[in-house]
Amino acid sequence: MNATDRKAKAARYLKFVEWSDEDECFVGRCPGLFHGGCHGSDEAEVYRQLCRIAEEWVKIIEDERTPLPPATAGRSYSGKFVVRVSPELHQRVALKAMSRGESLNQLVAGALAKA
């Protein structure tokens, strides 16, 4: 596979670059394709580096004759997902929501939005 094909395949994965107060630098990640990431003081350079790493991962995965993971760019989400918890936690959270005058869904959605 040539570099153009790898670049096109790597483009199918979302890439994030954000400032990390803890690390005092920009951190780049591509969680749909690989764990870990890259970092640096220049946001644009971190993104360029992240794109190169993603292309390298595409090559590594395909050289191993392993299928690429599902693409993350352009993916749509329904807004619904199931979370399994213990019956005790379910009860505690449901009672907490009732005490606040909220539905369980409102309480959990609010907590997720803050996370």
CATH number for 3-63 (one of 1.10.150, 1.20.1630, 3.30.160, 3.40.50): it is: 3.30.160
Task: Please state the rounded mean pLDDT for residues 41-68.
Answer: 97
pLDDT tens per residue, range 70-90? 999 998 989 999 999 999 999
pLDDT of 100: 92
3 vs 38, more confident: 38
Q: Where are the domains positioned within the chain? A: 3-63, 77-115
pLDDT at 1 over 90: no
pLDDT at 27 over 90: yes
* CA pair distance 83, 95, nearest whole angstrom: 17
Amino acid at 54: A
Concatenated DSSP letters for the chain? --HHHHHHHHTTS--EEEEETTTTEEEEE-TTT-S-EEEES-HHHHHHHHHHHHHHHHHHHHHTTPPPPPP-TT----S-------HHHHHHHHHHHHHHT--HHHHHHHHHHH-
Residue from 76, 69, 110, 79 nearest 93 by CA: 110
- At 94, list the tokens: 């449901």
Chain-wide mean pLDDT for the chain?
Answer: 94
The dihedral sign for the CA sequence 2, 56, 70, 50: negative
pLDDT of 115: 87
Please give the share of the chain, as a percent, with pLDDT higher than 70.
99
Task: Please state the rounded mean pLDDT for residues 40-56.
Answer: 98
pTM score, whole prediction? 0.72
Q: Is the distance from CB of 30 to CB of 37 less than 8 angstroms?
A: yes
Task: Please state the rounded mean pLDDT for residues 2-28.
Answer: 95
